[in-house]
Amino acid sequence: MGDVLVGFHAAWEFDSDSVLIRFERGIRRPRLFQALGERRIPYEALRSVEVSAGRRGTVVLRAVPRQGADPLMEAANGQLREDADPYRLVLPADRETLASYYADELRAALGPAAGEPAERHLVAAPPPPLHFKAYDGKASFDGRSVVFRWFWTGASSAKWKSGDQTFAIGELAGVEWRSPEILNGYLRLLERDAPERPSGEADQDPTAVVFGLGYGPVHESLPFAASVLQAVRAAEPAPDGPERAPVRRAGSTGRDPADIADRIRHLGELHEAGLLTDVEFSTKKAELLAEL
């Protein structure tokens, strides 16, 4: 098509085999859009295209991804607010005819398998390295493994006693993300060789980090979850390939100086906020420095 359709929060640039969605930056834009920057969506990743009336004199052009085609939407699992849906383009109501035209063009470009689940991810997740602060620890992903480093001030005793956790991508079967905008949000890693899926509270589970006010926001934790999920899917053996050898979860065997510094900064923030006494701050700071 080669055209560009500009909406309130994004611009869609149509190519012969895909649409490039460029998200605008600004204080009134959803922070998830700002974090994503831009995304290229192959037409084969789409299931359908819709046009509907929006709010306050607007019209909405929305593409619907195929099940399993986009790791971001797979991880989100229907939990995103409507205004944070990256597949929605909001336009002035007087551009409804134009929106309908592009919807027809997109429908004509859909692949023959549009109505079926995708066998693999067709849309790229944000690339690693990625990291974010949860309420009870810091999560980081370098493309090969996920690391949870617990905060002394937020982690439960069960997590603190288990030690920092490292999970190789090959030992994971998937992720479970619950939006921090929902009560008890968390990111849980699902282990491939675990005897059963965890059912307890995430704050007691060393395979999960929990979210809180200002910790693990959608625009940080969801791209992280999507990136991990895409790496897990890419590492899965072919259905007729050799079985993956069992792998063991390894705890952290050493302390990264950068992580120690990060923890001390976190303690300092709590101290400045009056949540730690001078003695508590000094004692824990000394303990952390002793680990270097």
Tens-digit pLDDT profile for residues 179-221? 999 878 999 999 998 766 666 799 999 999 999 888 999 999 9
Strand order of the β-sheet with 10-14 is 4-6, 10-14, 18-23, 38-42
Per-residue pLDDT band at 267 (split at 50, 70, 90): confident
145 is written with which tokens? 């493994």
Whose CA is closest to 36, among 18, 49, 22? 22
- Asked whether residue 54 carries a pLDDT value surpassing 70, the answer given is yes
Q: How many CB atoms lie within 10 A of CB 193?
A: 13
- Least confident range from 33-47, 137-151, 157-171, 247-261: namely 247-261
- Residue 245 exposed, middle or buried by CB count within 10 Å (0-12, 13-18, 19+): exposed
The partner residues of 141 in beta bridges, in order of sequence, read: 130, 146
Structural contact between residues 12 and 5, judged by C-beta atoms closer than 8 angstroms: yes
- Asked whether residue 155 carries a pLDDT value surpassing 70, the answer given is yes
- Asked whether residue 254 carries a pLDDT value surpassing 60, the answer given is no
High-pLDDT (> 70) share of the chain, %:
86
**Type and span of the H or E element at 191:** strand 186-191
